[in-house]
Structure 1
Amino acid sequence: MTLITYEPKHFLSDFFENGTLFPKGFKDPFYGNPAGDLKVNITEDEHGFHLTAPVPGWKDDEVDVEINHGVLTLKGVHEEKKEDDSKEYKMREFVRRSFERSFRLGDHVDQDKITAKLEDGVLNVVMPKKEEVKPKVQKVKIN
């Protein structure tokens, strides 16, 4: 019989595992948010799915929404313009931000009818359901 040493993980071990000054559970203040750090909300109703994502200060031409082989991809690059070169910055976090998130669409989403709109700093993506997936309410007669 072979004995195997078991070393239980502490619940914070993943949090501090990256070997840098900052635990990976925190964002590194010197490098800002990592690429791909786009928070989204996805809701569902009888008509389809609705994805919303905050992108304050971004313009339409800085955000791309693509569908490729059943995968919805949101990506964007936003660069702040230099306002005044005479300023000496001690910390400048508004330089360049980017994100990329992908979501696998199910067979029940009508990919040809997906729409997206960027309004008031919020990206809205509407993904309608195919007709056969929409719930059908049928009244059953009681004898």
Structure 2
Amino acid sequence: MKSSTNNNRLGDLQVDFENLFDHFFGNQQTSQGCKLIPPANVTESDTGFSLVMELPGVSADDVSIEMKENLLVVHGKKVVDKPGEGQRLAKSERRGGAFARKFEFASQIDADGISAEFKDGLLSIELPKSEKVLPRKIEIRTS
């Protein structure tokens, strides 16, 4: 899979491998313990793709989106508050940390037309297909 940055290839390779491993075995446990893998749905139409990712408890300021060729990368972090002074966790079920999701598209994407919205813990990204790949009707001329 293609990397979004040249100087972090090993890190990207590890994320790719762990995402593949998690997808294949249907769990979210990796060699580094519990890891954030935000769930997402991708739908396709004739004109483009729509991606919706669940990011409850994540601030829009802590999310970045990059598009390089046909590879969309969503990076971010979820911050979980630590107990205050004189307090300790009696039970901890909330997870925080960094995450990265990659989505590769078979069709050319119009990078200039991509839009994103973050509302109520959902990140919605619209990715229009490039005009080069949109279906078009070919007129047949007659003499």
User: 2: distance between equivalents of 1:85 and 1:94?
Assistant: 19
User: 2: distance between equivalents of 1:26 and 1:134?
Assistant: 37
Unaligned runs of 5+ in 1: 1-23
The answer on whether the counterparts of 2:70 and 2:108 sit within 8 Å (CA) in structure 1 is no
- Give 1:65's aligned amino acid: I
| TM-score normalised by structure 1 residue count | 0.65
Q: Between Structure 1 and Structure 2, which shows a larger proportion of helix residues?
A: 2
Superposed displacement of residue 137, structure 1:
4.5
Q: What is the aligned partner in structure 2 of residue 34 from structure 1?
A: 35
- Which stretches of structure 1, 4 residues or longer, exceed 6 Å deviation after superposition? none
User: 2: distance between equivalents of 1:32 and 1:51?
Assistant: 27
- Give 2:81's aligned amino acid: K
Aligned: 1:136 with 2:129: no
| TM-score normalised by structure 2 residue count | 0.65
Match runs of 1:1-143 below 5 Å: 27=28, 33-35=34-36, 37-82=37-82, 84-94=84-94, 96-137=96-137
Task: Please tell me whether Structure 1 or Structure 2 has the larger radius of gyration of its CA atoms.
Answer: 1
SS in 2 for 1:67: strand
Unaligned runs of 5+ in 2: 1-24
- Give 1:114's aligned amino acid: I
- Shifted more, 42-51 versus 127-136: the winner is 127-136
User: 2: distance between equivalents of 1:87 and 1:139?
Assistant: 73
Matched residue count:
114
CA deviation map 1:81-134 (0-9, x unaligned): 235333321332335232111122345211222121111110111100112322
Alpha-carbon RMSD across the aligned residues, in angstroms, is 2.7
